[in-house]
Amino acid sequence: MTHKDLVKSILKNLQLSTMEHKEKAMWTVMLPTMNEEELTKLNTVLEEEVDAIMDLYFAKNA
């Protein structure tokens, strides 16, 4: 993923994460200062979390 795609993906996944608003604001403020390696790590963790939430959602609503 390019730097721009990573940032876009993170911003989308941040909205779906269960983290509190204070932490969302923290990552948003830090994004411009993070390099690609750091962005990739954050994006991976967020994608895993959103997947886990969606699994719970589908399990409940199946």
Partner 1 sequence: MPNPPQVPESDIVKTLLENKERYLKEEGADLLHNQFGLEASEVAGVTAEFSKKREGLFGELMDISSEVGESWLVRQFPTISKWIDIFRNVGGKFIPGLKEEENLHSAQNEIEGWTAFASLFIPDSWLRNITDPIYNSDIFMGLVGHWPVGGDALASKISGSNGDPDHIIDAIRAMHQDVATGKVTGEVLFERVLKGLIPNFS
Name the site residues for partner 1 (rule: CB under 8 A). Answer: 16-27, 29-30, 33-35, 38, 41-42, 45-46, 48-49, 52-53, 56-57, 60-61
Distance CA 62, CA 59 (A): 5
- Of the candidates 62, 61, 31, the one whose C-alpha atom is nearest the C-alpha of residue 46 is 31
Contact 10, 49 (CB under 8 A): no
